[in-house]
Amino acid sequence: MKRCTWIVACLIGISVCATSGESKGQFTATLPDGTIIELVGLRPYGGGNPQRTRDKSGPWWRPDGTQLTIPPDERVDSCSWSDSYLLVITLEDKDDCICKAVGPWDSDLTVQPTREIYKGQGFANKDLRRFTLRFGNQKSADIRLGVTAGDWKVADRWSIKSDWTPYSLILSSVDQLVLRCPEQVGSDVVAEVTQVITERATRLVLFDQDGNQYESEGQIKGEGIGLVRRVHRFKNLDRKNIEHIEFQVKPYDYWITFSNVSLQVGHKTQVKVDIKQPGALLKGETIPGFDDIELDFVAEDNEGRMLLICFFDMNQRPSRNCIMQLAKKAEQLKHKGLTIIAVQSSKFDGNALNEWVKKYNIPFSVGIVKGAVEKTRFTWGVKSLPWMILTDKNHVVADKGFNINELDGKIKTITEK
């Protein structure tokens, strides 16, 4: 009898282990550098959820709708949006990894670490991170995460003088940002940065007279069309000791999509995981279709012609300058057998875009992304804006990610083949 009991126990244990391994595999992405990211689970985050009380957060479930008996994050907080969800991921083998979540209403949402005191049972030694996303009245959704893998690089640097104040000086930048001069607020130093939303993580780093550095990714305090305002607070720091400031960046090297994630406990789904690198639209690949782009362009009418697709953002001066330069070269490029297409690639008023096109007599098709902006840029491998893609006569990618001064040389390479 004891032997039978032991055999049954072993079989149960094997079954549990197999189920656990299979389940983790469904919700886990392993990056080429060895970083492992698992989407652990989610719960309703809206304050009006009927299953939530002041002392209870409501049910947690795994991405496939299976209920979680142990919450990974034990906080019972909520937000005012009724269609919000709190999601939790774990990271392995990458402590310095920065993640960004993208949803229908969020394009620059940093994934925040979970404090030790709030980690659920069994998660104490895990690198646990949480974020919120909003969805409409739907039973499942795709969850997209941007992940950094490289090192921080200095995009801009400023020396600070003691008599400067945020009310007397806005620091100029070679990057796409505006920095108000840091100020002393009590025992802390506070700095405000308004920057364009791009496919990269950013942070502000202060250096004191002794070479010590203080880092902040900042809290989002407002968003506009293509812009985000972050407030950086450096605690227990005297502004007089600041020697210089650096604005540091590193790109999101990978995008992970968890497809068909259940938004209801008990609603079973089959979750798929996809990993892609931005800029992965490689030479030799046929360009994607224009289904998600509102554009006056017919591919059949341009058979046998090279294409130049320029993704740009009207909110950014470099993008506007790029389109203006292309407009000046348009007639010359047309005679070389090239058709130009410009695509507005961030949220923007379509009427205002049309007015700008008419005002400056832009002589080529200018479209706008009508679907999910981030998804479209992801599909086309757009790393930054403006971003140009050049095709051969068969509409196969010949080159990408170059600047306008290199365009003539790129075209010559194609036509001389």
Highest mean pLDDT (candidates 56-60, 97-101, 295-299, 335-339): 335-339
User: What residue numbers bound the domain in which 194 lies?
Assistant: 153-251
Encode 232-248 in three state secondary structure. EEECCCCHHHEEEEEEE
pLDDT above 70 (res 39): yes
What CATH number does the domain containing 211 carry?
Answer: 2.60.40
Q: Within this chain, do residues 120 and 261 fall inside the same structural domain, yes or no?
A: yes
Q: Within this chain, do residues 265 and 140 fall inside the same structural domain, yes or no?
A: yes
User: What mean pLDDT comes out for the span 256-285?
Assistant: 87
The model's confidence at residue 80, banded by pLDDT at 50, 70 and 90, is confident
Rg (the chain; Cα; Å): 25
Q: How far apart are alpha carbons 415 and 375 in whole angstroms?
A: 32
The model's confidence at residue 276, banded by pLDDT at 50, 70 and 90, is confident
At 172, give phi and psi (nearest 5°). Answer: -75, 155
Encode 258-325 in three state secondary structure. EEEEECCCCCCCCCEEEEECCCCCCCCCECCCCCCEECCCCHHHHCCCEEEEEEECCCCHHHHHHHHH
pLDDT above 50 (res 297): yes
Q: Within this chain, do residues 44 and 180 fall inside the same structural domain, yes or no?
A: no
The model's confidence at residue 7, banded by pLDDT at 50, 70 and 90, is very low
User: According to the model, what pLDDT value does residue 301 have?
Assistant: 82
Q: Within this chain, do residues 215 and 78 fall inside the same structural domain, yes or no?
A: no
124 alpha-carbon distance from chain centroid: 28
Q: How far apart are alpha carbons 4 and 2 in whole angstroms?
A: 5
Q: Among the listed ranges 134-138, 222-226, 367-371, 373-377, which one has the minimum average pLDDT value? A: 222-226
Render 52-87 in DSSP notation, one character per residue.
-BTTB---EE-TTSPEESS-SB-----BS-TTEEEE
pLDDT above 50 (res 3): no
Q: By CB neighbour count within 10 A (0-12 exposed, 13-18 middle, 19+ buried), where does 11 fall?
A: exposed
User: According to the model, what pLDDT value does residue 291 have?
Assistant: 86
User: According to the model, what pLDDT value does residue 280 have?
Assistant: 63
Q: Within this chain, do residues 31 and 140 fall inside the same structural domain, yes or no?
A: yes
Highest mean pLDDT (candidates 100-104, 179-183, 186-190): 186-190
Q: Within this chain, do residues 272 and 123 fall inside the same structural domain, yes or no?
A: yes
Q: How far apart are alpha carbons 183 and 335 in whole angstroms?
A: 56
The model's confidence at residue 13, banded by pLDDT at 50, 70 and 90, is very low
The DSSP code for 8 is H
Amino acid letter, 169:
L
Structure tokens, 95: 């402590």
Q: How far apart are alpha carbons 221 and 150 in whole angstroms?
A: 27
Residue 263 included in any domain: yes
User: What mean pLDDT comes out for the span 236-263?
Assistant: 92
User: What mean pLDDT comes out for the span 172-178?
Assistant: 80
User: What mean pLDDT comes out for the span 54-78?
Assistant: 89
Q: Within this chain, do residues 142 and 192 fall inside the same structural domain, yes or no?
A: no
User: According to the model, what pLDDT value does residue 189 have?
Assistant: 94
Q: Within this chain, do residues 59 and 119 fall inside the same structural domain, yes or no?
A: yes
Q: Which residues lie across from 203 on neighbouring strands?
A: 248
What CATH number does the domain containing 386 carry?
Answer: 3.40.30.10
Q: Which residues lie across from 56 on neighbouring strands?
A: 53
Residue 246 included in any domain: yes
Q: Within this chain, do residues 34 and 134 fall inside the same structural domain, yes or no?
A: yes
The model's confidence at residue 107, banded by pLDDT at 50, 70 and 90, is low
Q: Within this chain, do residues 260 and 375 fall inside the same structural domain, yes or no?
A: no
Residue 266 included in any domain: yes
Counted domains in the chain = 3
Instruction: Report the percentage of the chain scoring pLDDT > 70.
Output: 91
Q: pTM for the whole thing?
A: 0.64
User: According to the model, what pLDDT value does residue 166 have?
Assistant: 81
Q: In 3-state terms, what secondary structure has residue 366?
A: strand
User: According to the model, what pLDDT value does residue 267 have?
Assistant: 95
pLDDT above 80 (res 225): no
User: What mean pLDDT comes out for the span 277-285?
Assistant: 71
Q: In 3-state terms, what secondary structure has residue 168?
A: coil
Q: How far apart are alpha carbons 389 and 399 in whole angstroms?
A: 6
User: What mean pLDDT comes out for the span 150-164?
Assistant: 87
β-strand 306-312 against 338-344: which pairing, if any?
parallel
